[in-house]
Chains A and B, each alone.
Chain A
Amino acid sequence: MSPTRTPPHTGGGFKAVCHRLWHDHAARWAVAVLLFLYAAVALADVIAPVGPYWRDRSTANAPPTAVYVRDAQGRFHWPFVLKQTRVFHEESLEYLYPVDPTVRYSLKLGIKGEPYALLGLFQSDCHLVNVDAPASLHLLGTDMNGRDIFSRLLFGGRISLTIGFLSLLVAFPIGLIYGGIAGFAGGWVDSLMMRFAEILMSIPSLYLLLTLATIIPASLSSTERFALVVISLALIGWAGLSRVVRGLVLSIKQQEFVEASRALGQRPWVILTRHILPQTWSFVVVAVTLSVPGYLLMESGLSFLGLGIQQPDASWGNLLKEAQTLTNVLYRPWMLAPGLLIFAAVLAFNILGDTVRDVLDPKSQART
C-alpha cells in the first residue's frame, strides 16, 4: 500500500455493510458463528455446569463423560450419565475411568449449582444443565487438576474474545494521534516519527512480546497481568495503524476544506482532531475487523507459551498449554478443543473483515 493512497470510498456506509453482511452467504455464517461464540461466553455462567475454578482432584484427567439414552437392557431413557471413578491399573501403569452402570443420573435442566451474577447484574444459581452429585458432567473431560475443561473453555473465551478489542482500544488512539500528527506536520517531524514506527514494526512481533514478557514480574495478580498483556499487545499494534493513518492524513490535508478551516484561523490541533481524523472512520472500521484476529492469535500464542494469561485463569491459548506435551494430546485429543475454537473465531473474523473491506473499498470487490 503506497503511503499516498486515497482514502477508502466512504459511499457504502453502515447500511451497505449490514446489507452485504446479510446477503453474502459466507459473511452471514461468519456473523452467526461470532454471535454464537460471544453469546456463549457472555452466558458462560449459565451454560457451564460448574465455575472455572471448580475442581475435583479425584477425577483428574478424566475423559469426556458419555451421555447415554439407552441402558444395558436397551430401554430408552431421558439422557443420563453414569458415575465415573478413577482407578490406577497396576499392570498397565495408567489411570482408568470405569463407570458404575447400576445408578443412572439423569441430565437435569435448570439445576441449582454455584451462585453467580449473570452479566454482573442478576444473582442466580441456576445452571442450564448438570447432573446430581456424586456423578459429574464433563463434556470435554477434566484437566490435570480435575477442573472441567468445557466450563473453562467458556470462561476462557471471555478473555480470548475481548482482549483483541481491549488492545485495539489502547492501540487505536495512539496510532490515530501519532499517525495524524506525523502526517499533518509533515517534513522532518514526519520522517522522524515514521522512522521510529518503522523500527518498531521491523522487530518480529513475537520476539518483542517475549522481550516484554521477560520484564513482567512473576508475582502479579491476574488483573494486573491481564492489563499488562493488553498493553503489550497494543504497544506492538499501534505502529502499523499509525503508518496507514499518516498516509490517509497526508492526502486529506491537501483538500480544500482543510485550507478553509486554516483560513478561518482554527488551531492545527482542532483541524486535525475535528476535521481530518473523523474522515478516516471507514478505514478505522476496516482496520478493527481486520486486526482483531491478529490480536486473538497473538494472545493465544503468548498464553500458549505460558507468558500471557496464567493459571488459575483460563484463556483459549492457556488451555492449549496443557496440550503442549505430546503425550497429553495422544491420550486426550479433546484437549485440542480450544485450538478449534481459536480457528473458528479467526476464520469468522477474517471473512467478516474481507466483506466489510469489500463494501467500503469497492476496488477490491472485483476480485471475489
Chain B
Amino acid sequence: MNVLDLCKLVAQRLVLALPTVVAVSVIGFFLMRYNLDFGVWTLPDLHHRGRTVTVHVHLKNPIDPLAELKQNPMISPAVIASETQRLGLNQSLPVQYWRWLSHVVGLPALSGVNLPNQPWLATPNLGKTVNGEDVATQLAVRAGNTLLLNVCVIVLTWLLAIPLGVYAAVHWRSKADRLMTLLAAVGMAAPSFVLALIVAVICVRTHWLPVGGLTSVGYEDFTWWHQAWDRLVHLALPVGILTIGGLASLQRQMRGNLLDVLQAEYVRTARAKGLPEHQVIYKHAVRTAINPLITMLGYELAGLLSGSLLVEMVLNYPGLGQWTYNAVLQTDTNVVMASLVMSAVLLVVGNLLADVLLSLADPRIRLEASPS
C-alpha cells in the first residue's frame, strides 16, 4: 500500500470521526448546562372535572457552574455577573455551546464576545478547574499518563495473548489448552478494581513494587537510567493488572479464530500440497486469524479506558480517570467535559490506528480503499 492511499484512508476516517467527537461534546455540554424552560402550561385537572391547573415545566440543571464562586465570600457579585456574562449563562444553549467550542479550538474571536487585547488565534482554552488551574494543561498531562498506561497494556496484551492463543488452538483440547481456558475464564470474571485492591495490598505488605504515583520521591536527582527504571517499576502494577483482563479475552478470541481458520479449505489445501505444519499455521492460518482481532482493537480500547479509570483510582495513578473522578466529586464541569471529550478522542484515534493497521495487514481492505 503506498503512502497516498494511506493518507486517503486516514483523511476519510478523520472526516467520519470528527462529527463523532463533536456529537460527544454536544451530549456532554447538554448534560452539564441544560436548563429547559418549557413555559407555563394550562392542563385539565384530572381530579376535578372542568377545572384546569397551570404547570410550570422547567427542567432545571442541578449543577450551577458558578456554585464555588457564589459560596466564596471574597467574590463580589460584580465578578459573578461578569463570569455569567463571559460564560454566556444567560444565553441560549447553542450560543453557550458555540462559545465553549470557539474557545476550545483556539479561535476566541468567533465566540461573538470581543474582549480587549484578544488574540485572533489562541491556545485551546478549556476553562479553569475549581482550583483555578488551567484545564488544558492539566488535561495534556493526565491524558498523556493514561495513554502511556493503555499503550503499555495493549502492547503487552498482544505480545502475550497471540502466542498463547495460537498455542492453545494448535494444541486443541490438550492439558495446556484446558488450563488456559480455565485461567481465561477466571481472568475475564475478575473485576479489575478488586484485583487491583488485592495486588496493591500484597505489594504494600511485601514491598515488591511501589504502589501509587508515577515516580518515587527524589526522582529529579536520579541518574537517567535510574529514572527510567523508577518509571518502569511504577508502571508495572497498573499495567500488570489491566493486562490480565485483556489478555484473557484476547487469548480466547485468537484461539477461536484460529480454530475456525484451521478448518478452512485453503488450510487443507496447503497441508495437502505438503507444506510443513509450522508454515501452514504461521504463514497462512495465523495471519488470517489475526485480522478480526485488529478490528476489535477499537472496542477493546473503550473497555480499557473504562477499566483503567477504576484501576487508576485504586492505585492512585495520576491519569485521566482519577482526575475525572475527583472532578465529579467536586462537580467541576469544565474538567468533566474536557475528559469526556478527551476519552472520545482517544477512542477515535485508537479506531483510526486500528483501521490503518488492518489495511496494512489485510489486502482485501486495501483493495476497497483504492477503487482504481
Interface of A toward B, CB cutoff 8 Å: 195-196, 198-208, 210-217, 293, 297, 300-301, 304-307, 320, 323-324, 326, 329-330, 333, 336, 339-340, 342-343, 346-347, 350-351, 364, 366-367
Is B294 an interface residue when CB atoms closer than 8 A count as contact?
no
Given contacts A199-B23, A204-B343, A304-B310, contact A210 B325 (CB under 8 A): yes
Min CB–CB distance A201 → chain B (angstroms): 8
| Chain B residues within CB distance 8 Å of chain A | 19-20, 23-24, 27-28, 31-32, 61-63, 185-186, 188-191, 193-194, 197-198, 200-201, 204-205, 211, 255-256, 259-260, 263, 302-303, 305-307, 309-310, 313-314, 321, 324-325, 328-329, 331, 333, 336, 339-340, 343-344, 347-348, 351
Q: Please measure, in the bound complex, the distance between the C-alpha atom of A342 and the C-alpha atom of B194, giving whole angstroms.
A: 9
A367–B194 touching, CB < 8 Å: no
Q: A367 is contacted by which of B255, B305, B324 (Cβ under 8 Å)?
A: B255
Which residue of A300, A333, A364 contacts B191 across the interface (Cβ within 8 Å)? Answer: A300
> Given that A203-B344, A212-B31, A214-B328 are contacting pairs, would A305 and B24 also be in contact in the complex, using a CB cutoff of 8 Å?
no
Question: Do B333 and A320 have beta carbons less than 8 Å apart?
Answer: no
Instruction: Determine the chain B residues whose CB is within 8 A of the CB of A301 once the complex forms.
Output: 191, 193, 306, 310
A207→B343 contact, CB < 8 A: yes
Complex CA–CA separation, A347 to B194 (angstroms):
14
Smallest CB separation, B367 vs chain A (Å): 17
CB-CB under 8 A for A215 and B61, given A207-B339, A208-B340, A326-B200: yes
B20 and A199 contacting across the interface, CB-CB below 8 Å:
yes
Contact with A339, one of B27, B191, B259 (Cβ below 8 angstroms)? B191
Asked if B340 and A305 make an inter-chain contact with CB atoms under 8 angstroms apart, the answer reads: no
Interface contact B347-A330, CB-CB below 8 Å: no
Are B347's CB and A326's CB within 8 A? no
Instruction: Find A204's partner among B28, B200, B305 (CB 8 Å cutoff).
Output: B305
Contact A204 B347 (CB under 8 A): yes
A203 interface neighbour in B32, B259, B309, B340, Cβ under 8 Å: B340
Smallest CB–CB gap between A37 and chain B, Å? 14
In the complex, which of the residues A204, A213, A323, A350 contacts B185, with contact meaning CB atoms closer than 8 Å? A350
A-B contact count (CB 8 A): 138
Q: Which residues of B lie under 8 Å from residue A333 when comparing CB positions?
A: 201
Cβ contact within 8 Å between A305 and B310: yes
Do A210 and B201 touch (CB < 8 A)? no
- Assuming the contacts A211-B28, A214-B331, A367-B256, asked whether A202 and B340 have C-beta atoms less than 8 A apart, the reply is no
Nearest B residue (CB) for A350? B189
Separation in Å of the B343 CB from the closest CB of chain A?
4
* A214-B63 CB under 8 A given contacts A205-B306, A307-B328, A366-B259: yes
For residue A293, give the distance in angstroms from its CB to the closest CB of chain B: 7
Min Cβ gap A357→B in Å is 12
A200 / chain B contacts, CB cutoff of 8 Å: 27
B305 touches A207 (CB 8 A): yes
Contact B263 A366 (CB under 8 A): yes
CB-CB < 8 A to A199: which residues of B? Answer: 19-20, 23-24, 27
- Contact status of A339 and B324, CB under 8 A, knowing A211-B340, A350-B188: no
Taken together as a complex, chains A and B put the C-alpha atoms of A347 and B313 apart, in Å, by: 24
CA distance in complex: A326, B198 (Å): 9
Which residue, of B27, B32, B194, B314, has the highest number of chain A Cβ atoms within 10 A?
B194
Candidates B63, B194, B205; contact of A343 at CB < 8 Å: B194
Contact residues in A for B19 (Cβ distance below 8 Å): 195, 199
Instruction: List residues of chain B with CB within 8 A of the CB of A343.
Output: 189-191, 194
A339 touches B263 (CB 8 A): no
C-alpha gap A347/B259 in the complex (Å): 24
Report the minimal beta-carbon distance from B297 to chain A, rounded to whole angstroms: 14
Q: Report whether A215 and B63 are in contact in the complex, using a CB–CB cutoff of 8 Å.
A: yes
The answer to whether residues A211 and B31 also contact, given A326-B211, A329-B201, A339-B194 and a CB cut-off of 8 A, is yes
Bound-state CA distance A210–B329 (Å) is 10
Interchain CB contact under 8 A, B20 and A336: no
* A-B CB contact pairs (8 Å), 5 listed: A199-B19, A320-B193, A320-B194, A326-B197, A326-B200
Q: Which residue of B lies closest to A298 (CB)?
A: B306
- B-side contacts of A346, CB under 8 Å: 189, 191
| Besides A206-B321, A347-B189, 18 other A-B contacts (C-beta < 8 A) | A203-B24, A204-B343, A207-B339, A207-B343, A210-B336, A211-B31, A211-B336, A213-B328, A214-B331, A215-B31, A215-B61, A215-B63, A217-B62, A305-B313, A305-B325, A323-B197, A324-B313, A350-B188
Q: Evaluate contact between B259 and A351: CB separation under 8 angstroms.
A: no
* Bound CA–CA A350/B194 (angstroms): 18
Nearest 3 A-B pairs (CB), nearest first?
A: A339-B194, A347-B189, A206-B306
